[in-house]
Amino acid sequence: MRLRRMTAGVRVRTTAAAVLVVGTALVLATVALELRLRNQLTAGIEDAAHLTAESIAGAIMHGTIPPVIETGDADEEFVQVVDAAGVVTSTTVNLGGRAPVADLEDGQSIVVGDLPFEDEVGDFVVVAVTAPTDEGIRTVLVGRALEPVSESTGAVAQLLVVGIPLLLVVVGAVTWTVVGRALAPVESIRSEVQTITGDRLSRRVPVPPADDEIAHLATTMNVMLDRLQKGRDRQRRLVSDASHELRSPLAAIRQHAEVALAHPADSDAEELAEVVLAEDLRLQRMVDDLLLLTRIDEGTLTLRHSEVDLDDIVLEEASRLRASEVDRRIDSRAVSAGRVRGDAAHLERLVRNLIDNAVRHSDATVTLSLKEAGREVVLTVDDDGSGIAPVDRKRIFERFERLEESRDRDSGGTGLGLSIVQEIAHAHHATVTVDDAPTGGARIEVRFPRDGQGAEPRQGRHHTHSNTHQ
């Protein structure tokens, strides 16, 4: 209802503005037209009077003007011939016995009124032309009525008085209709948006066929709804997967606790403590991973940039694995110097996740490599396991995503390790690629810019760069 009132308000305001603008323009044009018409008609009458005066002046110079001058229309024209003393020597009947109507020099003109005619004919334009005679200078005054000017301009004014309101009605009706049709898609968009809720984000607003601003708005809204739907689906999947993953360690702790309570004599407290501790560590790692990914999604992940010797981190992780009970050979002979700019703690987590992932999926050997190549530092982790098919190389970076063949082998993993690798690498302007390793398994390669600069990371998005076999 609010949008409908707003739409109606826009329609009313647009129509009113159009009528006001057109009406103002028409009024100004009407005034200008009437003034121009009046001036042109007056000038025409004045020219006609001037021609008559020159004709009479020529006759005077030949001595052929009688005391009484005949005129074509006594109500629209008069003539007076005035000598140098201001005495009327000749005149038309309609001004008989009247003093000169004006005191004008040769070529001058004036508008006079209140002349003694029987009918009210309005104002006259009077022109003066001088004629030299033997008795002295004679001034010929010719007056013509301006009544035709008033009649013509009055007729035009009456036509415009009727025509302008009709034209404004047409302008208002057309504007109202056009604006209404232009805003009709807005109502459709509003109705559709009103039906969209958090559980119905799959709906989309209709896009008008016209390529105009409203169509662009509808397209932008649909793109926004796509982002919201993907975000909601990702959130639901994260919650579902996290609930499933958290259930396993909790179930293991509960199972061992219930067995210990049911058979206290056969229970080993040390064994129970080890199980609880191991599952608790698994829960802690998962919670830490989820918190990190949440900070990345929300754009609140902060990096403490400094110069980091990446080779030191890689060698330390290799030593950690050799000192543990992992029955894998860790080959770090190809690790050379490599310095990058970034957050040491997050880079350590990236390296650890990569190596732990390779250990879980390898058969016997994990090969580490670090080198400087041009303006990049390249970290490579190879395993000799079953490898990753090209069609699955994007999936492994999805959260809680595990390939079918690795589910049974993936002990202790949370399904978030490579997702975190992807996000940390992206936050450091690095790219992650997946390919086949020379040892027969999978190769994961991370390329860091040596100066720490690159394309700005996009928060809350997961982008995977995969190399496939040619």
In the predicted model, is pLDDT for residue 436 greater than 80? Answer: yes
Nearest Cα residue to 388 out of 468, 318, 319: 468
Nearest Cα residue to 338 out of 232, 182, 177, 450: 450
How far is residue 329's CA from residue 362's CA, in Å, rounded to a whole number? 10
The highest-confidence range among 33-42, 71-80, 250-259, 287-296, by mean pLDDT, is 33-42
Cβ–Cβ under 8 Å, residues 432 and 465 = yes
Query: Domain 213-297, CATH 1.10.287.130 — does that match?
Result: yes
- CATH 3.30.565.10 in the chain is located at 304-449
Tell me what the mean pLDDT of segment 275-281 comes to. 80
Note the pLDDT of residue 403: 62
12-21, 174-183, 412-421: least confident range: 412-421
In the predicted model, is pLDDT for residue 296 greater than 80? Answer: no
Query: Domain 2-150, CATH 3.30.450 — does that match?
Result: yes
How far is residue 83's CA from residue 69's CA, in Å, rounded to a whole number? 16
Burial-class residue 381 by CB neighbours within 10 Å (0-12, 13-18, 19+): buried
Residue 272 bridge partners (DSSP): none
Note the pLDDT of residue 120: 57
Tell me what the mean pLDDT of segment 387-411 comes to. 69
Q: Return the half-sphere exposure (C-beta side, CA atoms, 13 A cut-off) of residue 35.
A: 6
Average model confidence (pLDDT) across the chain: 81
- CATH 1.10.287.130 in the chain is located at 213-297
Q: Which CATH superfamily is domain 304-449 in?
A: Histidine kinase-like ATPase, C-terminal domain (3.30.565.10)
Pairwise pLDDT comparison (239 vs 40), residue with the higher score: 40
- CATH 3.30.450 in the chain is located at 2-150
81-95, 289-303, 428-442, 454-468: least confident range: 454-468
pLDDT tens for 330-360 read: 999 999 999 999 989 889 989 988 998 899 8
Cβ–Cβ under 8 Å, residues 438 and 382 = yes
3-state DSSP of the chain: CHHHHHHHHHHHHHHHHHHHHHHHHHHHHHHHHHHHHHHHHHHHHHHHHHHHHHHHHHHHHCCCCCCEECCCCCCCEEEEEECCCCCEEEEEHHHCCCCCCCCCCCCCEEEECCCCCCCCCCCEEEEEEEEEECCEEEEEEEEEECHHHHHHHHHHHHHHHHHHHHHHHHHHHHHHHHHHHHHHHHHHHHHHHHHCCCCCCCCCCCCCCCCCHHHHHHHHHHHHHHHHHHHHHHHHHHHHHHHHHHHHHHHHHHHHHHHHHHCHHHCCHHHHHHHHHHHHHHHHHHHHHHHHHHHHHHCCCCCCCEEEEHHHHHHHHHHHHHHCCCCCEEEEEEECCCEEEECHHHHHHHHHHHHHHHHHHCCCEEEEEEEEECCEEEEEEEECCCCCCHHHCCHHHCCCCCCHHHCCCCCCCCCCHHHHHHHHHHHCCCEEEEEECCCCCEEEEEEEECCCCCCCCCCCCCCCCCCCCC
The number of residues in the chain equals 470
Q: Return the half-sphere exposure (C-beta side, CA atoms, 13 A cut-off) of residue 60.
A: 30
pTM: 0.50
Q: What percent of the chain has pLDDT over 90?
A: 20
Note the pLDDT of residue 118: 56
